[in-house]
Amino acid sequence: MTEPFGRRLADAVAARGPLCVGIDPHVPLLERWGLPDSPEGLARFTDAVVDALAGTVAVLKPQLAFYERHGSRGLAVLEDAVARARAAGALVLLDAKRGDIGSTMDAYADHLRPGHPLHSDAMTVSPFLGPGSLQPAVDTARQHGGGLFVLARTSNPDAGTLQHAVVSDGVRQRSVAQVVVDTVRGWNTPGWVVGDPLPDVAAARDLAGRWGPTTGSFGVVVGATLHELDVDLDGLGGPVLAPGLGAQGGSVADLRRLFGAGTAVVPTVSRDVLAAGPDPMALRAAAERWATELAAA
């Protein structure tokens, strides 16, 4: 049996540090590298990133959309990259942001099944069709040792339109973002299933040690560029994916300000590392600078 994603992530962070590097081959970046916006340019870009970083960083996060836009040839590039990255020791977090119901969500979750052409260690998902809509993905992750990162409190300018909306379960009122966090906390709590009352923080807190052996496989996405942390992550029991470092304005100081020392955070950098290419040594040096700054903090 494959070890649970949470345990593999904790091991990778212990060995390599917590840095996650996004692989986002958008057109301006391809042009900056002197590459064509074509499957060939996509392959050269992706090969360079994987060759430079898969042996040293804990997590690589390819954005699926940039490969899908090139059709089957783009997906073939990603299939090869995912397999090579995992073989080199990096965990692969597929940035897919999928969200649907029933058999469709089950099909999206196939990315976590061994033998799938894009078999990844974890994937990002969207919860906004209701927490129960993600249960097929939760079941698949548990069966195959995969992980999920659920969009909870993102830092794009109008995110609060939905994420700050207040809902009531007849007992208490919470923001939509807090309901997402509480649901994920439930997934990390042994014995909890959708439909049960959400466990309170005290019932889940024993899972919340920073990168401890009980780090759960289910995490949330919380932007590193938020002005303030307006959701309660206490007792989450799993990791927080924190995008936005570097070009988007987030800093290591923001991580400390938002999350403190008791949260298992996976900070994500994309453009600040990728802009150093195409030279592989420069890519590796850029990632190492971030890793060193994170380790010092």
Q: Hey, which residues are catalytic here?
A: 97
SS3 148: strand
**Residues in CB range of 264: below 8 A, 6 or more apart:** 10, 13, 210, 211, 215, 219, 238, 239, 240
Tokens of 67: 């490969």
Within 10 Å of residue 166's Cβ, how many Cβ atoms?
A: 10
Q: Pick left, alpha or beta for residue 195 (phi over 0 → left; psi -120 to 50 → alpha; otherwise beta).
A: left
Half-sphere exposure of 95 (CA within 13 A, CB side): 20
Q: What is the DSSP letter of 172?
A: -
Pairing of strands 173-175, 166-168: antiparallel
- Cα 66 from Cα 62, distance rounded (Å): 8
Q: Which amino acid is at 93?
A: L
- Cα 218 from Cα 142, distance rounded (Å): 10
